[in-house]
Each structure stands twice: as structure tokens, then as C-alpha cells.
Structure 1
Amino acid sequence: MPGPPPLVSVVVSARGNTQSVRNLLDALAVQALPAAQMEAVVVDNDLPGPVRPIADAVCDGTWPFAVRVLYEPTPGLSAGRNRGICAARGRYVAITDPDITPDPGWLHALVAAIEEEQVFAVGGRTDVTYPGGQITALTTALRECHGAVKWPAGREMAVWPYWVTGCNLLFDRQTALDIGLFRTDLGRRGRWMGDCEDLEFIDRARQAGHQTLIEPAARASHPVYRPETTLRYFVRQGAGHGVCVARMHLSVTVEPAAIQAGCRDVHAAAVGLAAGWTFLDRSRAVEGARDLVRIGAYHLERGRLRLLGRRPIALAQYAPKEPLPWT
């Protein structure tokens, strides 16, 4: 007979990163939240085949909480997460990635915030690290491709200029099922570097009347290695980001700050590329090239969607920041 359901289900979708899954489970084993109040749902999203290294690695370990391994044959981060959320038994679902290392107080801080403030979701602070040495040459815009750079000092609503990331997010499971889970045409899928699945999910919830909070005390670290700091990486990331922002128009009202694809933005990107190339400022030139690719991909995808008869939702307008409900 299964025991009582846990308070929190930690859902992680893994593809080809077996050792990272074990490291994540080891980090969850030292969480301040009692082990009896949590479970881990690991979704194997590897290619089909008789060998399941993720399942084998998890089954070989011993952790103080329940660990379940599921298989999701549809490739894609969103598909894997959705599979885990549907199978989760906890009242709350915390989603993260295999290569994330949460602080011991991570889950406790997320749960405390969501229960004290009575919001739909809480996102924690994710600190990007660069193993082997800090890469200081990257511009702020390029660093934001790896994760948020600016964080509030205390609890704040997840509205611009702050945003949450899918590797550090806790939400009410039943509400998520009611509003719909992650869109599978967004997010990373194999070698395709899509994203915005977490941004669209939170925006859709907010536009349905459900608030999301940022709790900077819920900290985790995310390593970024040198292959993710190359021109090729940023160009691919820009293309995927542009396509996904264009697709977001089909389900949510997209904030103008998330688009930045007008004539002035094209001009600024071109100037940045030319100036960076002229003055041998590599990071500025890479940022300009990435932005030009991103803007081009955004408009091409919007045009394709129009030809298919997919009607977008109107753009949002800038509005004053909403006062916090607890102030």
C-alpha cells in the first residue's frame, strides 16, 4: 500500500546526463525539508533503445526519499516535464534540471514562500557559474542567455525586470493542471535550442489571475561551460529564442520587453556588430550577431504562423508595477 502523498514532488527531465542526475539526487538528500515530505520523479527522455542508463543509475542509488523513474519517448524538455508533473503525487511540484545544484535550504524556502504568500508559483534565485574561471568578457545581454543576472533583494512579484527560470520553480500542481502544462512547441528539444516554455507558462498563469513570486533565498547554482560561450552557441540560441517568442503570441500577451524586434533594435544590433568587429570587441560583435539572428527568426516565424492562419494575441502595454499583496 502506498503511503501518504508527499508535500513536494521534484520533477526533473533528463537526456544523456546520467551522472548529473545522481548528483542532483545527492543534493536533494541533504535538503532542510524533511525527506518524508518529498519525492523525486526522474523522467528519462533519452532516445529509444534497450539500454536505459538513467534508470540504471537511479536504481543503483539509495536516497532517503522515494525516487521514481518514468520514460517519455516524445523528445523535448517540455514533454518530459509534463510527463513528470502528471505522475507527481505532491501538492506542489518543483521542477529543476539535472545539472542544477540546489542549496540545502532550497526546497524549504520555496515551500515557505508559496504557503506564506498564497501564490500560484515561486521561483528561486539561480546563480550561473563558469567552471574553470569567470568569463568576464561576456556582455550583460549574453550572460542573460544563460540565466537571469538581476535579482531582487527580497521577495518580489515575477514581473519585468525580474523573471523566473524553469530550473528553479515551485508551483501548485492542481492549478497547473487546470491552466495547462508546458507547451511542447517551446523549450529545448534535442539539438534544437528552443526556450521560453517557462516564461510562457508563468505569463499564461498570471493572465489567468494566478500570481508568481520570486524568493531569492531559494538558491541554486547552474554551471555554464566554455562551449556555451561561443559564437555558434549564441547564434543558435538567438534563433531558437526568436522562434519561441513568436510562438508565444498564440497563447499569451507578450510583454514588449520580451520582444525587442523593431527597426530600432535591428539598427542597434547592426551597429553593435559593426563596432565590435571594427574595434575587436568580440563580446559586442557576438551580441550584435545573436540579436540580428534572433530578430530575423522572430519575424520569419511570425510570418509562417500568419500563413498558417494562426492568429496572435495582441501585444501588452507597459503598465506600472503592481503593488505586492502583502505590503
Structure 2
Amino acid sequence: MPEPAAPLVSVVVSARGNTQNVRNLLDALAQQTLPAAQLEAVVVDNDPPGPIRLIAEAVRDGDWPFAVRVLYEPTPGLSAGRNRGICAARGRYVAITDPDITPEPAWLQTLLDAIKKENVFAVGGRTTVEYPGGQVVALTKALRECHGAVDWPGGREVAVWPYWVTGCNLLFHRQTALDIGLFRTDLGRRGRWMGDCEDLEFIDRARQAGHQTLIEPAAVASHPVYRPETTLRYFLRQGAGHGVCVARMHLSVIVEPAAIQAGREAVHAAVINLAAGWTFLDRSRAVEGARDLARIGAYHLERGRLRLLGRRSIGLAQHSPTKESPAWT
């Protein structure tokens, strides 16, 4: 029999231990205004090795109007799972998202319209964060930004500071991504380690190679954040993971100063927040200060470790790179 026609868009999702969320995401994709014939879903099972593959079983029982493929990636980590799916995707464009994301019906079509009209490498949509169980700590803006971008433009804008894309709501040209290198596997969430920045580094590396990314705020998807992710313990772990990942970004991209914020002024501000928060019983401010100190400390420790290993950064944002960024696959 002849091979089926390649889809226009491959939606790649890496899942680990969230079987029901995968089904919910596929149900939401079935409601997209983009014709089902132009779409495929590539679900990457990133669960630990074992005789029972729950994700594959859950998907096998579904009946969706588009092709669904399930792959297995034994290497733990969000980036490893996504890379496996991108390499196997058949679409000209790849949209990456997460199992617990709920996209609006026009999500994919809106991203496609933008990337075609503007002729850019990638387009990121607007991700709205919801707190269905409430918050343990009343979140400041800085703490809410730990769960995703807070500021969004009113219309299409270039994805540069103060705006940034989120990895659960991003569409890009597959072949260009393969050419510049996919997500770094030493960045991003991996098991219980709360890494991140894999999407930020990917887009920064593409931009520094001459490929532009836009934000299209009309492409909306929602992301739930639950109470355990609003505790002091969570923010300390998140801050430490973020600091490590920003330090590692120096190996492949020119990091914007706004993404670092680890100098003396930042330390002073964090200490003031922590002290003022405890003194005036402002728990939110104290948590923000503690999280910043964890982030800054982890950043400098990781930079020191990398220097001891002979891993050299490629420069700071005020300078031009002196060599090509390596491809990370």
C-alpha cells in the first residue's frame, strides 16, 4: 500500500507518568480547526523501563481523527523525549507541547498562519497559567514567572526580552531545527531534577544563527499549576535548577544580561527581600528572596564547576560570538 501523505504539522509531546493527561491532550487536538488530515500526534513515552507501557496502552484505546504514533525514549528527560519525537516527525512543521496543556480550538491554525505570513523560523503562542487548587503562597510576579511568562504583547512581536516563548506552546520549521541542533539534553526537566531553559536556549541559539522567532498572543493554551508547585520547597528547587541551567547556557549561546541577574545588586535585592519578608511577615516576599538566593548561588557554583572542567563560555551579550554554536541533539 502507498505511504500516507505527510502531514503539515506534527504535534510532539513527551510524557512521563501522566497517562490520562495524554488522552485529554489528544481529545483537545481533535477539536482543532486545522483539518485532521494535516495533523499527526507523536507521543513519546519517557517512563522508566518496564514490562507495562501505560502510555501506549492508553493511546491504543483511543479513536482520534488524525494519526497518532507512540515512541519510546529510554533516556530520561523532557529534552531527550522531545528530540526523539522531532526526529521521527513527518510534518514540515513541529508543534511541541506538554501532556497537561489544553489548547484552544484555533491554536494550531493561528500558529500556522503566523509562521507562514511572517516567514520566520518559529512562533510561540500565549500560555495562560491557571491555579485550580489555589496557592500555598500568595505569588508575586517574580514567583508567577517561575510557572511561565506573565507579560504578553498585544499583537505579534519578536520574541526578545521582556517577552519569551514557552516550550509547551511553540511551532517551528522541523528541518531548520534539525540543521541548528535540537534541545540540549543537559537542560530541561529530568526526573525529579527541576531543570529548565531548554526552550530559551533553543530559541536564542536559533536567533543568534539568524533565524527569527515571533510571539503570536492569539494562539492560546492553558497550563494548570497545582498547590505543591506554590510552596517554599518547590521554589527553592526551581530556583536552584534554573540557576544551574542559565550557567550551562553560556556554553552554547550568548546569554542576555536580563536572563542572568546574578551580580552583587541581585544578591543585595534578594537579601533585602528575604529579611523584609520575615521581618514584616510577608511570606511571598520572603519566598521570592530565598528563591533568588538559591538561584544565584546555584548559578555561580555551576559556572565554577564548568570552569574547572575546562568548559568555556562563548561570551556575554554585549560581545559578538567568536565561534559557531555547537549543535546539540
Q: TM-score range by the shorter chain?
A: over 0.9
1:313 Cα shift? 1.4
Q: Does 2:32 correspond to 1:19? A: no
Deviations 1:134-192 (A, max 9, x none): 77820000000000000000000000000001000000000000000000000000000
Distance apart, 1:2 and its partner CA:
2.0
Structure 1 CA distance, aligned partners of 2:309 and 2:135? Answer: 45
Deviation readout 1:89-111 (Å, 9 max, x if unpaired) = 00000000000000000000000
Determine if the alignment matches structure 1 residue 212 to structure 2 residue 217.
Answer: no
Q: Any idea what SS the aligned residue of 2:217 has?
A: strand
Q: Distance in 2 between matches of 1:133 and 1:146?
A: 14
Distance (whole Å) between structure 2 residues aligned to residue 183 and residue 119 of structure 1: 22
**Aligned runs of 1:165-244 on 2, under 5 Å?**
165-244=166-245
Per the TM alignment, residue 32 of structure 1 is displaced from its structure 2 partner at its CA by 0.4
Structure 2 match to 1:30: 31
Once residues 311 and 150 of structure 1 are traced to their aligned partners in structure 2, the CA distance between those partners, rounded to angstroms, is 33
Whether the 8 Å contact between 2:93 and 2:174 is mirrored in structure 1 is yes
Contact 2:92/2:174 (8 A) holds in 1: yes
Contact 2:94–2:172 (Cα < 8 Å) also in 1: yes
Q: Matched residues in 1 for 2:227 and 2:121: separation?
A: 36
In 2, distance between residues paired with 1:222 and 1:165? 11
Alpha-carbon contact 2:136-2:231 (below 8 Å) kept: no
Amino acid of the structure 1 residue aligned with 2:175: Q
TM-score w.r.t. the length of structure 2 is 0.96
CA distance in 1, matches of 2:131, 2:37: 34
Deviation at 1:201, TM superposition (A): 0.1
Q: Distance in 1 between matches of 2:140 and 2:9?
A: 37
**1:241 Cα offset (Å):** 0.1
Look up the SS of the partner of 1:184 in the other structure: coil
For the residue of structure 2 that corresponds to 1:4, the secondary structure is: coil
State the match for 2:252 in structure 1: 251
* Structure 1 residue 141 corresponds to structure 2 residue 135: no
| C-alpha displacement of 1:23 | 0.1
**CA-to-aligned-CA distance 1:16-40 (integer Å, 9 cap, x gap):** 0000000000000000000000000
- For 2:324, the equivalent position in structure 1 comes to none
Give matches, 1:29-48, under 5 Å. Answer: 29-48=30-49
Rounded Cα–Cα distance in structure 1 between residues aligned with 2:299 and 2:243: 4
Deviations, residues 183-231 of structure 1 (Å, cap 9, x unaligned): 0000000000000000000000000000000000000000000000000
Aligned match of 1:90 = 91
Q: What letter matches 1:82 in structure 2?
A: N
What SS does the aligned partner of 2:146 have?
coil
Shift of 1:277: 0.5
Give the SS at the match of 2:166.
coil
Aligned to 2:59: 58
Instruction: Indicate yes or no: 2:273 matched with 1:309.
Output: no
Separation in 2, partners of 1:80, 1:271: 40
User: Partners of 1:134 and 1:195 in 2: how far apart?
Assistant: 22
Contact 2:134 2:226 in 1 (8 A): no
Deviation of 1:314 (Å): 1.1
Encode CA deviations 1:228-254: one digit per residue, 9 max, x unaligned: 000000000000000000000000000
Percent identity of paired positions between Structure 1 and Structure 2 = 86
Aligned 8 A contact 2:137 2:284 in 1? no
